Amino acid sequence: MTRRKAAIAAAGTLAAGALTAGLISVPNAFADGTGTHAQNTGRHGSAEARGVHKAAARAARAGVDWKDCPADWGLKDGVECGWVTVPLDYAKPDGKKIKLAVDRARSTGGKGKRQGSLVYNPGGPGGSGLAFPNRIPDKNPLWAKAATAYDFVGFDPRGVGHSAPISCAEPQEWVKAPKADPVPDSEADKRAQRKLAKEYADGCKERSGGLLAQMTTPNTARDLDVIRAALGDKKLNYLGVSYGTYLGGVYAELFPGHIRRMITDSVVNPSPKKIWYDVNLDQDIAFQTRWDDWKKWVAKHDDVYGIGSTPEKIEAKWRELRSTAKKDPIGGVVGPSELLGFFQSAPYYDSAWAEVASVWAAYLKGDEKPLVEAAGPDMADVEGNKASENSNAVYNAVECNDAQWPRDWKTWDRDSTRLHEKYPFLTWSNAWMNYPCAVWPLGQHKPLNIHAKTSHPVLMIQATRDAATPYPGGVELHKRLKGSRLITEKGAGSHGITNLENDCINKRVDAYLLKGTVDAKDVTCSPHAEPQPVKSAAKASAKAKAAAVPARTP
């Protein structure tokens, strides 16, 4: 997912992935083989259940007309693209339709080894999964075994990218910088941020039309089942990261008998009491913990970076940098908000540790260009800015619609003020990122209470020090999906760990996908290798820009 340089605020919540397998009968959405779906239908709306059944049957008949991908989609040779039609409103399956963009790379093992499609969601809400199939033509070594058995399939969820994209603000205006410091100095600062959030929420309604009210995780899960049918797969093989794990959990609740393989990586806490307000409060604490981990690492490599020899000295330098940027934005565009948008990639991903430190070190040595390029907006990148604004719009639409948020400002002010005292790195930024949900112009739903026995055990993978999706989330989903298995990466904190090299995890992912096997009990793995320092600021800046924070993943 692409980092949103100019987000209203700079946190991530999760901020977070077939082909035709011959003539396969479409499973009845009401008969899932677990004995629970009739109950689910009653709980989750019989009209929508009938609607998704009808839409899936249509999609199975239509299939996907695979063609060469448009050149401007940025996909590799060997990846094919197509469309799947879904209802705008599943309660009205014969009403207005939208088209979802899907793509695939064919499995490498031939007919004798092919097991179906592996569908991917990278998180968000608001992330595009279309880059996932690139892992096959790129010959990604971590996925080489899985590629022998599965076509890799990505899609743009409803409202995202090429799938009827929504918008809440004019993109070029939205990315302009510098933005106000998210940490308020006064009540007037808080009123100004609340005003911006209200304008943004109203903009969502004005610019996104009838699709806005249908932007929910349950509807995206229904879309996922229609995609499964269009691909010709009787059951779903799915990999969800970050918010994609919550999407997977909702799918498991709605379609427990449709799961063949499901991996949830870096798990959102699915408790209805947590979705979504408390999930973000938990992030504030976890981001501070991981920020502290990064400072220790930078201090350990002070001979390379020269930022500070202790975490305390590095924290002092960080506050000095924020203060300097607030008084006089760096390069005219990088203030505290933009700094946070860039520096938060370090708590997100170990892969960003060296890059962020190198860019900062270059600045301290008098070269501000890498920092301005990494943290400031690129006004010439019109398409990139449009995608960034779209991602942010989807994030707000889905989370604001999914759950009932506190509507009174006193609750937000009390909680953010209290948390900021001990966890200042992200708290206020996260509050403003989500505050449109306090003034959301549409009705809000109650989150699903996920409790399911799935047709095959779900495999969950979670790092104990993950900032974006704190560890208790994995434990909670594990409790709620009967028969699931949890792999814990102890002492690690990178977000999205199935794409990292750790043999203890990688071999279990391969065994699960290829053979369907899980361990007899939950497993704890040692952490993956610690990042190594990078001395080149130019190289670091380029890598940081290419791989920084995802599009808003819980």
By annotation, the residues acting in catalysis are 242, 466, 495
Residue 167 structure tokens = 């918008």
Q: Which residues of 464-496 are buried (b: 16+ CB within 10 A; e: fewer)?
A: bbbbbbbbbbbbbbbebbeebbbbbbeebbbbb
How many C-beta neighbours within 10 Å does residue 366 have?
Answer: 6
DSSP 84: E
Q: What distance in Å separates the CA atoms of residue 34 and residue 15, rounded to the nearest whole number?
A: 33
Alpha carbon 415 to chain centroid, angstroms: 24
| Residue 421 CB coordination number (10 Å) | 9
Place of tokens 């997100």: 348
Q: How many CA atoms lie within 13 A of 541 on its CB side?
A: 18
Rounded to whole angstroms, the Cα distance separating 206 from 548 reads 31
Distance CA 85, CA 411 (A): 41
Residue 276: both structure tokens together: 């979504």
- To which H or E segment does residue 271 belong? none
Q: Radius of gyration (Cα) for the chain, nearest Å?
A: 22
Strand partners, 102: 82, 155
Tokens of residue 262, six digits: 């499901």
Distance, in Å, from the CA atom of 396 to the CA atom of 390, rounded to the nearest integer, reads 10
The residue among 29, 2, 6, 1 whose CA lies nearest residue 379 is 6
Q: CB count, 10 Å around CB of 443?
A: 8
CA-nearest of 98, 122, 167 to 386 is 167
Cβ–Cβ < 8 Å for 330, 366: no
Contact 18, 117 (CB under 8 A): yes
Q: 441: helix, coil or strand?
A: coil
Helix ranges, 150-270 (H): 171-174, 187-208, 217-230, 243-254
For residue 480, what are the CA distances in angstroms to 110, 126, 398, 416, 554? 37, 25, 22, 30, 19
User: At which residue do the structure tokens 């028969």 appear?
Assistant: 483
The closest alpha carbon to 224, from 94, 73, 120, belongs to: 120
Point out which residues pair with 86 in neighbouring strands. Answer: 98
Q: What residue type is 213 in one-letter code? A: A
Q: Which residue has the tokens 């959301």?
A: 440
